[in-house]
Amino acid sequence: MTDITIQSPPQARYRIDPQRRAWGILLLAFAAFCTVCVTSVVGMSYFLFQSTLPLEAVAQMGRGTASLSGQAIQPGQAKVVTFNDVLSTQDLVSQATIFFRDSQQGEEKLVAAVTLRSGSALELERGLRPRFPWSSIPYTIDVQNVVGDVDIFIPRDLGRDFSLQLLTVKGDRVTLTGSGQYQVRVSDTQLTVINREGTAVIFPQDGEGRAIPANSQGVVTYDAAGPVVSIGETYANLLSNSTFQDLFTSSDNAASPTLQNWACHESSNQPSGSYLAERVDGRWLLRFLRNDGASNNGQIGCISYLGSNGYDVSTLNYLAIRASLKIDYQSLGTCGVDASECPLMLKINYINQQGEPQWWIHGFFQYIDPNANYPLQCNTCSQEHDVVNQQSWYLYDSGNLFNLIPSNQRPQSIISVYFYASGHQFDVSVGEMALLAG
């Protein structure tokens, strides 16, 4: 018997129409092209308008020494601060400032100055600027693990939006936007934010934000029920134009400028020296300059009067003077033979409760002559003068003057506030002079 093998006929192969194949390839190529174009446009747009670079951050010592991530910063040094660096001031006199600058500007424009007083610390999380000047994104600075007493200055005319966030160890957050002056105090039991000029919002841990108006303060305290936020007035500044922004000058650097609320003078002894208005980092500064080989005493200063009869402080319990200063040079060691010729001196003229004229004086210097045993305190001063680091900004706060002045000399009314440079040759800049009361 013959085996019969049955084979299935071959299947017809499916043939794609060449025209359809061509259209498919064309559409896939077009889709790939569109994807590449969109990705390129989005990527280029992000690169040109949204990408960022780190802000330049440099720490300088105003007084004493500080620690940057375990390494000491000595007087006269400028240390670069990078992300996750921890800056701390350990002893009772140290003060350090981080200057954030935009290096893409012609003169490395100041964006913010964050000053740590003694016993304070913070960690820089990030500080960003736009990659290109035409970008609309803001300057952004975030710091965390803030403890102690921190001052923040944000200059005017930044040219773009600004945001600075401070996060405490407890998780409270403070947001500062726009130009202004602020003070943040963080302790184990309380957070205080003082808004002297600007826009500030305080966020307690797991709580809603509360705006702090200018010339006000916000306080976060803790009880058994959790954080409690209160908003109230802060100390008033009795001096107008305390940051010298109201200057009548014809240029950015002018000799013998006219200042609203201040009367300034040059030295009566020759060489007379000069007082100058200089616009640095978006703010006006007063500079007292005397050189020309002077070897005699000269005095250059500015005074502000608080009314014809003075300002009555008899019912107040707090009075403090605050100043921002930088001493670039002095030729006379310490403050001279009688400690009365400091390169910068502060003087408050007042009437005591017995109706007698009195004054309070305090000075600053940066150079001690090892060959001269000059005193550190003048005969009419209640404290020793402060030594500060050369060519570094220092923020001074006297604390409550009612605790420094003897009770039998307590002020009844403040007549004037006078700050002046005294000595032979000197070069001093002043950025603020305020008298706080409450």
The 10s digit of each residue's pLDDT in 165-183 is 999 998 999 999 988 999 9
Q: What is the pLDDT of residue 167?
A: 95
User: Tens of pLDDT along 109-145?
Assistant: 889 999 999 999 999 999 988 888 777 889 999 999 9
Distance between CA atoms of residues 69 and 96, nearest Å: 14
Examine the pLDDT at 373 and tell me if it is beyond 60. Answer: yes
**Confidence band (pLDDT; 50, 70, 90) for 2?**
low
CB 161 within 8 A of CB 172: no
| Highest mean pLDDT: which range of 70-74, 101-105, 236-240, 277-281 | 236-240
Q: What is the pLDDT of residue 205?
A: 85
3-state secondary structure of 3: coil
Neighbouring residues of 427: CB distance < 8 A, sequence distance ≥ 6: 287, 288, 289, 290, 291, 327, 328, 329, 330
Q: What is the pLDDT of residue 14?
A: 58
- Average pLDDT of the segment spanning 35-58: 79
User: Tens of pLDDT along 328-353?
Assistant: 999 999 999 999 999 999 999 999 99
Q: What is the pLDDT of residue 360?
A: 95
Amino acid present at 348: I
Q: What is the pLDDT of residue 9?
A: 60
Q: Where do the domains of the chain lie, and which CATH numbers do they carry?
A: 52-233 (2.60.120.1440), 247-437 (2.60.120.260)
The neighbouring-strand residues paired with 422 are 299
Q: What is the pLDDT of residue 415?
A: 96
Q: Is 159 exposed, middle or buried (0-12, 13-18, 19+ CB in 10 A)?
A: exposed
